[in-house]
Each structure stands twice: as C-alpha cells, then as structure tokens.
Structure 1
Amino acid sequence: MHDYHKQALTNLVEELSPDPTFLAIITGGSVAQGIAKETSDVDVYLVVTDEAYEERKKDNRLSYYNNQICDYPGGYIDGKIINLRFLELAAERGSEPTRYSFTGSTAFFSRIPDLDRLLSRIPVYPESNRDKNLTDFFAQLYLYAYYFAGEAEKKNNPYLLSHSASNVVLFASRIILAHNRILFPCHKTLMTAVASAPEKPDQYVERVNELLAHPTHAKCVDLAKMILAFRDSGISFDQAVSLFVENNEWNWLEHPAPLQDR
C-alpha cells in the first residue's frame, strides 16, 4: 500500500482503539489486494463486540465513513462494521462476493487472537457448491436466453429484454468463473474477473459488450450457444424450467423472499 494509505490506517487505529468496543481493523479492497491507485480510498472491516454490533444493527449504523484522517486529496475511509461471528460465518458459508471482499485482508489492529488465521479461510473458492451452482446457472441461462428474451421481443417489452440480456450475461459469466474456480467479486468488477479467466470462449467479452449495447433475442441466444459449446450444461430444457421455478419463483419456501420479491 502507499505510505499515505498506511498512515490513514494508523490514524484510524489511533482514533478507534481507545474505544474497547472496537476489537479489530481489517484491511480490504484494493489496499488489501496490493492494487491501490494513488487516489484509492481505504476499505476496512471494523470488528466490534457483539453488544455494540447489535446496537448498531438495530439503528442501521453498520457503515463507517471518515474523510478527516486521510492525508491525501480525496482520500477517505470506507468501512463496514461486523462482529467476530460474521467472520466465522463468512469462512464457513459466506457468499462469493463476501469471500472475495476479504482477498488479501489482514488485521491492521486486533484484540482477537489468531485473527489473520481466520481471515485466510474466507477468500477461498467454495468447492462444495460448484457443481450445484453450475447446474443452476445453466438453468438461468436457458430460460433468459431462449424464453424471456424471445417473449420480450414478441411483446415489444424493452424492460424485459434489458433484464433478460443482463441475466444472460450474468449467468454466462458466472459459468465461466465457476469453471475456472474464480470467486464472483460483485457486479461492479464482474467483467474484469471474467476477462482474467484463463479458460473462456474466444471473443466472449466483445460479444457481451455487443449484446448489452444493443440487446436482441438473437444475440442472447448466440451468447447462450457460445457457453453451451464451451461447457456441457448436463441438463435438458425441461429440467432447466424446473430449476428456474425453484430458484426464482419458489425461493421463499425455505428462506425469507429476496428483497426484489418482497
């Protein structure tokens, strides 16, 4: 990290460590990954006691922002407040974006024994989920490319066409990442991660950009065919429909419905 990023973290320790509810400051983002630019902000996870975490959660105060302790133009601290149980669960069953967010992370300050050892268990590809994920991703690809994009054009529904094209790209890309055992970072850096994948169809990123710039049913199908030629889906279209219903329409049966469906 740049010296002024390190100084910002040192300033943060000086500001927060007198408060006994703060147990650790963990580096994140580009600073932790060693790819920070001169203008990069400093991402951190702030670990607090369980009691402090619950109080903050109750009041929706689990984010942290500070632009007063960075000694470089435009610099600021961007933090998320968690407890130790969050880290334990992230290592056990964290989502891929959560796992990815701890890439390169270390404890810059800690009152927790062996914290770095726990942190090293988080940014690991979840091998046990891989086969199921690939099957589910192919089901999404089938339905959005072959059915929903077609319905969108037939009914002149630009929202559905845009939604379908985005999901074709999302799940085609998730298939490539899973094939390469690369963590899905987030939507913001999805295509950067895909571009770095060693095994993927030729001209994939270019075809994605063409589809998103001017979405059509034919382009959605062409991208799906590209992925199906790259890797066998292992399922029929009828099986894909069943999986799609389970993951999209009946996703409230065993867990609370996702935000977009509430």
Structure 2
Amino acid sequence: MQHQEDALAAYVDAVRAEDGALAVILVGSVAQGREREGSDVDVYYVVDEERFDAETAAGRFAWVDRWGLDYPGSYIDVKLASPAYLARAIESADDPTRASFLGARIAWSAVPGLDETIRRIVELPAGAWDERVRSHVAQARLYGGYFLRQAVERGDEFLRRHAGLHLALAAARAALAASHVLMPGPKYISALVRTVDTPRGFLEAWDRVVSDPRLEDAEVLLRLLEELLPAPLAPDEALSTFIRDNELAWLRGTVPAEFW
C-alpha cells in the first residue's frame, strides 16, 4: 500500500548517508504484496563489515525504527546484515532466514550483484532437498517409533506430548522438503503443510498426532511418510542419520535438523 511505500522511502532517506550503510532490502508482507492496512515494514539493513562487527559486538542485531512516524501504528522492523552475512547465508542459513528473503525487493543498494545474492539464498540445490527429506523422516521415526513408545510404556505425559509434537514437526518438514518448500517458522507449519502434496490420509493422521499423540496414529503417519522418501531408508541408516543431524550437530558445527 502507498503509505507503507512512503514509509520505506522515508527510512531509506534517513539511513543511506549513515556511516557504513550499503543497502536496504524490503522483505515480509509488503515485499510479497500481502500487507494489511496496519502492517509494519520489514527490512534488512545491510552495512559494511566494520559497522556490522561494532553493532553486533554491542548486542544490536535487530531493532525498531521510525515508530509511529509514518502512519498510525507504523514502524520499520530492522534486521542487520552485511555482505559477509549474506554470503554465509547462501551456504548455511536456516530455513527461517532463507524464507525471509522470499519475494525480497531491493529498496536501495550500493552492493554489486545483490539481486543474485538474494536469489541464491532462497534456492537450494535439488540434492539438498532429498537429503532433507531423509533427515526429517529419520527424525520422525525416532520420535514416533521410539520416544513416543517409551512415553506410553512409562506413562510419561510430558514425553508423550514432546515426542508427538516433534514427530508432527518432522513429518511436516519432510512433506515441505519433498515439495521444495522452505519453512519460515513453526507458527506457519499448520497452514503450510496443507498447501503441499501429501499422501492420502497424511493430514488427518498429522492432525490426530498434534492434538493427542497416540501410537496407532503415529504408526499411520510414519507409514505414509515412507512414500515421501526419494530412496529406502534402512533402520540403521535412520538411526545414524538422526544421531548425525541432531545429537551430533554440535560436533559438525550445525544446528539440529528441526531448526534447519
């Protein structure tokens, strides 16, 4: 909407002369054309490495600017970035970071090739998607076939709920990965999993696991997940994949698979 575009232009005018300022990238609902009347304006503010290091050393990674200056309830939701930050995001950013650049628009830039950098952040190679499916299915098997069973046998209600939600998340992540869809964050999962192709009965089983995780529903969901696998995943492979991508993430310098 025009009032958000005016707010963005005012923000760019306010920061482009600042020391170290390099670019402003519009993201979020305004960039994607799904803003509401009172939506805020989300941006990445790209600065040089010297300023990025100084800001982040002081604990400043994000902030709100121009609160209430442009239209009622308005503000600019700012996340800090630098050229090195963006380059590293291409290689190793998690899904919420990658997804935040979907539909991004450069409002102003002094960074050559910034459009190409953004494109590479949101696109993963095909082989990476297949590996994600295998990893998420392995995670689902452990939570649905092992931890959930232990919870039921022990009468551990916390573990039952924990295992059920982790099974549901892993199953949804596998379905998204099979359709090459990034996961913007957990709050989007319930809606997003309904927008991708899933085996017949998947969503019904998924909903039951979310609301009241039981072994019989977990078994149905796990059986349907097998249809998403690009190649068979033997039990020992699933266990090793789970250990590698979750329990040994610290050793590999990564994060657990559910946070990819």
TM-score scaled by structure 2?
0.89
Q: 5+ residue gaps in structure 1?
A: none
| Alpha-carbon distance between aligned partners in 1 of 2:33 and 2:85, rounded to the nearest angstrom | 24
Matched with 1:238 is 236
1:202 alignment partner, SS class = coil
| Alpha-carbon distance between aligned partners in 2 of 1:29 and 1:69, rounded to the nearest angstrom | 19
Matched with 1:207 is 205
Closer, same or farther: CA 22–170 of 1 in aligned 2, 3 Å = same
| Alpha-carbon distance between aligned partners in 2 of 1:190 and 1:56, rounded to the nearest angstrom | 33
Tell whether 2:175 aligns with 1:176.
Answer: yes
Q: Which amino acid aligns with 1:101?
A: S
2:146 alignment partner, SS class = helix
In the TM superposition, residue 189 of structure 1 has moved relative to its aligned partner by: 1.3
| Alpha-carbon distance between aligned partners in 2 of 1:194 and 1:112, rounded to the nearest angstrom | 36
1:253 alignment partner, SS class = helix
Matched with 2:89 is 90
Matched with 2:114 is 115
| Alpha-carbon distance between aligned partners in 1 of 2:5 and 2:122, rounded to the nearest angstrom | 22
1:189 alignment partner, SS class = helix
1:138 alignment partner, SS class = helix
The question of whether the paired residues in 2 share the 8 Å contact of 1:4 and 1:70 is answered with: no
1:156-175 Cα deviation digits (max 9, x unpaired): 21221112111111111111
The question of whether the paired residues in 1 share the 8 Å contact of 2:174 and 2:228 is answered with: no
Closer, same or farther: CA 41–202 of 1 in aligned 2, 3 Å = farther
In the TM superposition, residue 153 of structure 1 has moved relative to its aligned partner by: 1.2
| Alpha-carbon distance between aligned partners in 2 of 1:115 and 1:189, rounded to the nearest angstrom | 28
Matched with 2:184 is 185
Q: How does 1:1-262 map to 2 (within 5 A)?
A: 2-68=1-67, 70-197=69-196, 199-229=197-227, 231=229, 234-255=232-253
Q: Which amino acid aligns with 2:18?
A: D
Q: Which amino acid aligns with 2:159?
A: L
| Alpha-carbon distance between aligned partners in 1 of 2:53 and 2:150, rounded to the nearest angstrom | 46
| Alpha-carbon distance between aligned partners in 2 of 1:190 and 1:144, rounded to the nearest angstrom | 18
Identity of aligned residues (%): 31
Structure 1 runs (4+) deviating above 4 angstroms are 229-233
| Alpha-carbon distance between aligned partners in 2 of 1:84 and 1:174, rounded to the nearest angstrom | 29
Structure with bigger helix share is 2
CA RMSD, 1 decimal:
2.2
The question of whether the paired residues in 2 share the 8 Å contact of 1:12 and 1:69 is answered with: no
In the TM superposition, residue 155 of structure 1 has moved relative to its aligned partner by: 1.1
Closer, same or farther: CA 150–125 of 1 in aligned 2, 3 Å = same
Closer, same or farther: CA 69–120 of 1 in aligned 2, 3 Å = farther
The question of whether the paired residues in 2 share the 8 Å contact of 1:139 and 1:244 is answered with: yes
1:83-114 Cα deviation digits (max 9, x unpaired): 01111222344333222111111210112233
The question of whether the paired residues in 1 share the 8 Å contact of 2:141 and 2:222 is answered with: yes
1:79 alignment partner, SS class = strand
1:221 alignment partner, SS class = helix
The question of whether the paired residues in 1 share the 8 Å contact of 2:133 and 2:174 is answered with: yes
Q: Which amino acid aligns with 1:95?
A: D
Number of matched pairs: 257
Q: Which amino acid aligns with 2:151?
A: A
Identify the range of structure 1 (233-242 vs 17-26) with the bigger mean alpha-carbon deviation.
233-242
